[in-house]
């Protein structure tokens, strides 16, 4: 994140805001690719990375929020490994108090299911709500860290309020 801030300062006179955003996304994507290549065993990391990028873009767009670089890198790795676990048929993680999560975060669950639809169709997999719970927790932790670090601002943090 510190490096991204330095890049913003250095390149602000040379790139428009949209170009800088694309540049940052490409850096995060390439950094994530090297981590993903070390963790995936059967799936094509390049193909998975494209799916994950689309998933994260959809979630951020539908939630009207922006994840920090640290959160994005973590999500790239987590979602890539999640997809592989689902493809090979590993037992999904059990999420504590799944019923309460399902009731309180129905909108978020729908956003994630819609965002994952293309990859679920491509690999003939189903995304369990328990796994969505862990994605929610990861995103919520990132948004709390963002507020504390003033690195990135969640535009609609009420959407991620666990206690609502």
Over residues 16-62, the pLDDT tens digits come to: 888 877 777 777 766 665 666 666 667 888 888 899 999 999 999 99
Instruction: Please give the biggest Cα pair distance in the chain.
Output: 51
Residues 6+ apart with CB under 8 A from 47: none
Q: What is the average pLDDT across 132-161?
A: 61
> By CB neighbour count within 10 A (0-12 exposed, 13-18 middle, 19+ buried), where does 55 fall?
buried
H helix or E strand, kind and range, residue 107: helix 106-123
Distance from the Cα of residue 65 to its chain's centroid: 11
Asked if 66 and 25 touch (Cβ cutoff 8 Å), the reply is no
pTM attached to this predicted model:
0.70
Over residues 80-114, the pLDDT tens digits come to: 999 999 999 998 889 999 999 999 999 999 999 99
């Amino acid at each position: 994140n510190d490096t991204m801030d330095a890049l913003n300062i250095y390149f602000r006179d040379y790139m428009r805001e949209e170009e800088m955003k694309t540049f940052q996304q490409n850096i995060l994507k390439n950094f994530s690719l090297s981590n993903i290549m070390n963790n995936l065993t059967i799936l094509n990391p390049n193909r998975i990375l494209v799916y994950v990028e689309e998933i994260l873009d959809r979630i951020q767009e539908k939630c009207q929020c922006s994840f920090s670089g640290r959160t994005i890198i973590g999500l790239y790795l987590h979602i890539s490994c999640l997809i592989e676990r689902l493809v090979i048929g590993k037992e999904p993680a059990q999420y504590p108090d799944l019923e309460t999560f399902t009731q309180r975060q129905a909108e978020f669950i729908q956003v994630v299911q819609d965002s994952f639809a293309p990859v679920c169709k491509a690999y003939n997999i189903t995304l369990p709500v328990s796994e969505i719970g862990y994605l929610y927790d990861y995103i919520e932790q990132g948004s709390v860290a963002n507020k504390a670090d003033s690195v990135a601002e969640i535009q609609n943090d009420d959407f991620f309020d666990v206690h609502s």
